[in-house]
Amino acid sequence: MTLRLYESDPYLKEFDATVTKVEGEWVVLDRTAFYPGGGGQERDQGTLAGLPVLGMRGKDEIAHRVPGHAFTVGDKVHGTLDWENRYALMRAHTGEHLLFSSLSRRTDMELVKISLARERKVLVVKGHLDWGIVREAVQEVNSIIAQGAKVSSHLVDRESIGEGGPRAKLDRISERMVRVVSIGEHDHAACAGVHLGDAREIGMLLVNKFTSAKPAGDWEIEFLVGPEAVRAAVDLSISALMLGERMGALPQDSLTAFDNRERELNRAREALKVYGRTALASLRPRELGPWKVFTGSFLALDRRLVMEWANELVAGGGSVAVLVCQDERTFLVLARSPDVDIDCVTILREALAPYGGRGGGKPAFASGGTSDQVDPGALIDGVLRLLK
């Protein structure tokens, strides 16, 4: 049985212990301040007698994986935690309790998964959630952090845990006595992890991602705590101010301004399609040997529309269509009727080659483009020369 020092004193950064068992790289100690991981929180990082601890396992007997050690039973060892990492995880873990309880006070939801690591802190929940609920919950969590709230823990008989009691996933707990962690009066939850002494130490909590996850109904909420949260809050607020400036709106009105602009953009796209169809319909062929050849160049027209139209132009037989679409790049479409004996792919590739462009397709229909703008007239002339 290993004494779990992190339970009675989560602020212990160094400790002395005695080796009680050795199995290859694995070393069991009589006591440890290393949290072995669990409840979604990553295991601790650090060293034993200066050697890095690269893994942990076990519940009653806690083993530390220390490659390269030469310990034998009875050795005294000194353990040192990577305190910066641990403290960040304690902040995240305590913040996660507050965030979950603030969310669940506002909506019916259930915890799916917690994942607290140095790089990423994520809560996955199932239920009805939206930005408004997330905003209110994050505001509440930060006001609790600002006021401060003592974190305490006590053991409770699992039989006594019922409706209205602490949050507990009893199906995942095997012990009769359950450790319940309380954050002031704000949250009571069964948890074996390591937490701060006071919620004030979280500093700040910020949700930096909120997206629907799979399966449907699940939500992924990524968050930051402490100095990372402050840094991100400053960055995001500046981005929001810059966006507002570009939209010509106050930052709080940027969303409405964006929606208005999107509607305008959609109207413009629809109009462009209508005028584009008119322009495509007015194309008249020229004679080139035995064939009728349709050529045309269009600005910012939907590529799919141009491809569809090329197919229609050659549907009558004996025809070739050479159409160019110009936006930031130049896009070329080449189509022919079934009775015209040319290979569109070869001609298209040859026509694009001088501009470093590429393309592909089938003998009767090919498309491709260049990585920047080229003169559409010259490109079409190039195709016509190849057709001759």
> Which residue ranges make up the site for Zn ion (CB under 5 A)?
191, 193
Cβ-based neighbour number of residue 149 at 10 Å: 20
What span, in angstroms and rounded, lies between the C-alpha atoms of 359 and 353?
10
In whole angstroms, the minimum distance from the beta carbon of 136 to Zn ion comes to 22
Contacts of 38 (CB under 8 A, 6+ apart): 192, 193
Which of 105/263 has CB closer to Zn ion? 105
Q: Measured from the CB of residue 180, what is the shortest distance to Zn ion in angstroms?
A: 10
Q: How near is the Cβ of 128 to Zn ion at its closest, in Å? A: 25
Quote the least distance from Cβ 179 to Zn ion, whole Å: 9
Q: Which is nearer to Zn ion, 193 or 369 (CB)?
A: 193
How many angstroms separate the CA atoms of 309 and 17, rounded? 79
Backbone angles phi, psi at 297, to 5 degrees: -130, 135
Residue closest to 85 by CA, chosen among 62, 107, 128, 52: 52
Complex with Zn ion: residue 95 or 193, whichever CB lies closer: 193
Least separation in angstroms between CB 78 and Zn ion: 28
Residue placing its CB nearer to Zn ion in the complex, 59 or 128: 59
- CA atoms 22, 23, 25, 28: torsion sign: negative
Q: Min. distance of Cβ 73 from Zn ion in angstroms? A: 33
- Is the Cβ of residue 66 or residue 114 nearer to Zn ion in the bound state? 114
- Asked if 382 and 353 touch (Cβ cutoff 8 Å), the reply is no
Instruction: For residues 245 and 249, give the distance between their C-alpha atoms in angstroms, rounded to a whole number.
Output: 6
**16 token code pair:** 């002395």
User: Shortest gap between Cβ of 191 and Zn ion (angstroms)?
Assistant: 3
Q: Which is nearer to Zn ion, 38 or 244 (CB)?
A: 38
Q: How far is the CB of 153 from Zn ion (least distance, A)?
A: 9
| Residue among 203 and 244 whose Cβ is closer to Zn ion | 203
- Shortest reach from residue 123's CB to Zn ion, in Å: 12
Of 255, 293, 315, 323, which is closest to residue 387 (Cα–Cα)? Answer: 293
* Residues contacting residue 326 through CB under 8 Å, at least 6 positions apart: 297, 298, 299, 300, 373, 376
Helix/strand number for the chain, H first, E second: 8, 22
Q: Please list the residues that pair with 178 across neighbouring strands.
A: 156
| Closest of 154, 142, 153, 138 to residue 200, by C-alpha | 142
Other CB atoms within 10 Å distance of the CB of residue 319: 19
Q: What spatial distance separates the first Cα and last Cα of the chain, rounded to whole Å?
A: 89
Task: With residue 146 as reference, give the H or E element that holds it.
Answer: helix 131-147
Question: Closest distance between Zn ion and the C-beta of residue 189, in Å?
Answer: 6
- The residue at minimum Cβ distance from Zn ion is 191
Picking from 203, 200, 202, 207, the residue whose alpha carbon sits closest to that of residue 135 is 207
Distance CA 132, CA 302 (A): 37
Nearer to Zn ion, 203 or 318 (CB): 203
